């Protein structure tokens, strides 16, 4: 890795790129999961083909992301910080999306950096002159991509509601999966030079209704927990991975389970990994209530998650809202 490439990563990551001559044969703890069976109840995730997103758009989005990631760390911090009005926020080192002070957190720093993009604000966003043309090109591609994935998410949600015969209030149906809440996170994971591997993202479930992951390259790392074993899902270009999130688990009364997953970096890859994930949530004030869960809104859920991460170092999530009579 040359000096410019190294300087594009957060400073805390750079010393990890200097290990010499790792043995890729030591990286042998990953297993390819079953390809068949009923994917949603068993895995909380499934692979989607024939999704209708043009391959050219996926390629363009990945290329734009890589160009932005290749900029110096300091440029990314300054251009996409939480202190300006940009809907494109830069984060690194933590799944809580903490943009700064990651080293002060009690849990281990995750080997990931990325951009968190709020789609509803993108159309009106005008990058500052020193950010152009790179952010403007990125914005244009993201707006188009957002149209595709939001349609896919709504179609999938409607199909799951119909499949489970859920009795949702028709007047609030669209509020359970609100397109105004959609955001895209573009992740970059560095090459791994440690024979023991490293965590790109620690184990977690998504708080979303559904999450839609696109990965155009062939660098593996995404793992799902099944029967107490971490199994690697190998990437297949031009397919999408759909994760069931916590909100869908609650809405479905646990008939669909949110997928517990992580990203583990492997020395045998020796390449960076780039992935793009779309998340969509209910409206802030929509109340989710059924025989499994006490009434809560997504806003309430999110505040508990953030508080737990800040105070405990990890997300508790849905167990905080389980009705006592159903908690065994």
pLDDT (tens place) for every residue of the chain, 328 residues total: 677 788 898 888 877 655 444 444 444 444 444 433 345 556 899 999 999 999 999 999 999 999 999 999 988 888 776 556 678 888 998 755 554 444 444 456 899 999 999 999 887 776 665 555 777 888 889 999 999 999 999 999 999 999 999 988 777 888 999 999 999 999 999 988 776 778 899 999 999 999 999 988 888 899 999 888 898 888 888 899 999 999 999 999 999 999 999 999 887 777 899 999 999 999 999 999 889 999 999 999 999 998 998 888 889 999 999 998 754 5
Q: Are 217 and 304 in contact (CB under 8 A)?
A: no
Distance CA 259, CA 236 (A): 19
pLDDT of residue 139: 87
Give domain 3-326's CATH architecture. Answer: Sandwich (2.60)
> Which of these, 86, 92, 213, 199, lies nearest to 152 by C-alpha position?
213
pLDDT of residue 319: 95
pLDDT of residue 101: 43
Distance CA 2, CA 272 (A): 14
> Which of these, 85, 58, 95, 96, lies nearest to 236 by C-alpha position?
58
- Taking the chain, what is the end-to-end CA distance rounded to the nearest angstrom? 51
pLDDT of residue 96: 59
pLDDT of residue 82: 57
pLDDT of residue 134: 78
CA distances from 110 to 13, 131, 219 (A): 9, 27, 18
Q: Sign of the CA dihedral 151, 157, 161, 167?
A: negative
């Amino acid at each position: 890795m040359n000096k410019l490439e190294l300087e594009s990563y957060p400073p805390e990551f750079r010393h990890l790129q200097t290990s010499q001559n790792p043995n890729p044969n030591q990286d042998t703890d990953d297993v390819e999961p079953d390809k068949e069976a009923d994917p949603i109840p068993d895995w909380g995730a499934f692979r989607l083909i024939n999704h209708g997103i043009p391959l050219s758009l996926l390629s363009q989005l990945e290329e734009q992301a890589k160009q932005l990631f290749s900029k110096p760390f300091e440029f990314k911090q300054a251009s996409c910080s939480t202190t300006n009005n940009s809907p494109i926020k830069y984060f690194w080192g933590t799944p809580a999306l903490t943009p700064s002070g990651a080293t002060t957190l009690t849990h281990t720093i995750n080997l990931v950096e990325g951009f968190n993009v709020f789609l509803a604000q993108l159309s009106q966003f005008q990058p500052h002159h020193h950010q152009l043309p790179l952010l403007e090109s990125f914005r244009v591609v993201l707006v188009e991509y957002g149209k595709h994935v939001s349609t896919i998410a709504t179609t999938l949600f409607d199909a799951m509601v119909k499949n489970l015969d859920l009795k949702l209030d028709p007047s609030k149906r669209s509020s359970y999966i609100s397109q105004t809440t959609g955001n895209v996170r573009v992740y970059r994971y560095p090459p791994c030079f440690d024979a023991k591997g490293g965590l790109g993202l620690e184990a977690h479930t998504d708080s979303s209704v559904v999450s839609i992951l696109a990965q155009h390259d062939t660098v593996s790392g995404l793992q799902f927990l099944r029967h107490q074993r971490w199994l690697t899902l190998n990437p297949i270009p031009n397919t999408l991975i759909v994760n069931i999130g916590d909100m869908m688990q609650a809405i479905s009364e646990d008939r669909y389970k949110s997928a517990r997953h992580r990203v583990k970096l492997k020395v045998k890859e020796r390449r960076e990994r780039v992935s793009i994930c779309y998340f969509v949530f209910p409206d802030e004030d929509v109340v989710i209530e059924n025989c499994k869960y006490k009434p809560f809104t997504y806003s309430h859920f999110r505040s508990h998650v953030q508080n737990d991460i800040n105070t405990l170092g990890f997300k508790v999530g849905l167990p905080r809202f389980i009705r006592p009579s159903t908690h065994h």
